[in-house]
Structure 1
Amino acid sequence: MLTLDKIYHASYVLKDVIRPTDLIAAPNINPEAQVYLKTENLQITGSFKVRGAYYKISQLTDEEKAKGVIACSAGNHAQGVALAAAKNGIKSVICIPDSAPISKVEATKRYGAEVCLVEGVYDDAHNRAVQLQEETGATFIHPFDDEDVIAGQGTIGLELLNQLPDLDAVIVPVGGGGLISGVAYAIKKLNPNCKVYGVQASGAPSMVNSLRDHKQESLSSVSTIADGIAVKTPGDLTYEICSEYVDEVVTVTDDEISTAILTLIEQQKLIAEGAGAVAVAAALFNKVDIKGKKVVCLVSGGNIDVTILSRVINRGLLKAGRSADITIALMDKPGQLKGVSQIIAELGGNVVAIHHDRADESMDINACYLHIVMETRDYAHIEQIKSALTAAGYQIV
């Protein structure tokens, strides 16, 4: 059984292994609330996952340790298990979906684990790990559906109450539910009035659907940039704990997640992966009621693949109205481009790309399309520029 004593014991075991992460104020995330960030993206291995993995491995018998451990993960649990196994001097094999970011795969290898890449998503890696466990007799370290793992993650709840005793709400990313189960259990036992909200990606709403329908449900597929929480089926134990202790679980879109990643970079100088930014996205876009409250957004991980970071930033810029792409139908004669660019410049827009197209078959023979990409302040700024262009006689397509 999960107990508060077990979470306190996990905190004692972990005190010389992990770092208690900072709680920092983030007043611009949502001006209507007092928002703080729990920076687990700055944890060793770049994620909270090392807490649960290390505590679970520390509780194994000598006989179990001799046979080694096996795990499956989209990346962060893999690194936690690999580090924990190395510190305990035991062998680890990690099954990772082949869609996981290369950076996470390589980091897992650097921590000393043997990596087995599996075609598909997390659930496929899980099936392969179970098969290998049966063949080798190694102990399977579940990423979320395990009391010791949940207790390890619950140490974050203890830290939060020490750092901000009068917090009103905490917003937590949800994949399989291990993190929110531990955090919710610890907080609700010590401060029942504190609200605990979960956040999933809209492309992977397994816990949302299960809690709504009051039964565990599996998704046929998942699709989200938040690979760390792309889980088809919530755990048996985590579903039960969430049903009892979590107040609400909501979803955010990939565009909202991208905006949150960009906001953390610009405003807080923090790097978060997609799964790590969903709590901030929920606060940014008012997915839960936090008006007038002291609320903590749990930034659960920072292991984003740098190769997709630029794409995420571009999506975030578009979502925030910081970048605009407009097409104007023009008569193909001298001076047209000058007139358009002068209006944009006078209103403070910054043109970053232009494409002149005379070849579209739907145009008049003496017309052209002008495609312009520009940097803008926000959506109101975009509308201001469009209105000025229209007033000057230009036709926006």
Structure 2
Amino acid sequence: MTSLEDLPIRDDLRGRSPYGAPQKSVPVALNVNENTHPIPEDVAHDIVARVAAAILRLNRYPDREFTELREALAGYLGHGLTPEHIWAANGSNEVLQHLLQAFGGPGRSALGFEPTYSMYGLLASGTGTRWVTAPRDDDFELGPEAAVAAVLEHDPDLVLMCAPNNPTGTPLDLDTIRAVADVARGIVIVDEAYFEFAEPGTPSALTLLEGRPRLVVSRTMSKAFAFAGARVGYLAGDPATIDALRLVRLPYHLSALTQAAALGALAHADEMLAMVDEIRGQRVRLSAELARLGFAPYRSGSNFVLFGGVDDPHAVFEALLARGILIRDLGIRGHLRVTAGTEAETTAFLEAIAVFAPERAAGAAENRIDA
């Protein structure tokens, strides 16, 4: 039986593991930061109609430049952006891959601030780009001083900054982004996959694009738009950067069906995003209740909460899974992460996690001592 090690794969890929979160059929799945709210029925019907119309033309290649979609995305983002500033691909991971293909590669490096999205390092290795990391400040925050010091030390060709950060949920201030963009010689990527879940009034890195041709802001429709299965990601940046991405993309990389579905969702943006307030409310509830139970939730601007104070994360993960509740064990000592789901899903999780609350454990210990 041939194994992977028997094949002539690249030396720098040997020993590596592919990205993978547990995929299990459970009643309450809160492990991969999906939007657990279904797409509104009227929106779904419109999307289906658009996809059906596109099916009648599948004998022809799709619009290679996805012109109508870029116009719609520019309109959604605002900030004076035009279609010339927009790029899209099959999920934001492919958007990031295009950036690494165009601006990274052998002999070049990309910098990230760990812990952060694990796909950054995998995308870097897949493109032959050297992946280097720098630590965050206390409580997984990232201030201008630490970020700039890392850029000056490593002098990377690309900098990847997650705002808010995944897996910690930590918001990223514009001061930090601005400081990095102003000292970095390479491309600075701000990944705003979870931006729509930030507190209302939070400024986007899109406000920093003007006059900074090497700054790009990546977004996705997977989270706030509840479109994870459709695989639509996009970015905004200088038109010259968009031209560079055309050099590395595959021909007709966005199918006609993908374009049609995305246009349908964007046509109902207000209705699609109406659920964001509810999700934000459940995130606040998670943080408050976890803190009340004695855990240590971190500041979050996303649709999930990372919390510490877990004595045995793997054991808690398995115990919750046995109850049909799937959350995420990230391998961060003493921590677990949970997605903010519907009110019912959040309730199910909070009731289950209460059994492992530090306060309850401390109380049990005191009772044993008293006895």
TM-score exceeds 0.5 = no
Q: Which has the larger radius of gyration?
A: 1
Q: Which has the higher contact order (CA 8 A, sep 6+)?
A: 2
Give the TM-score taking structure 1 as reference length. Answer: 0.35
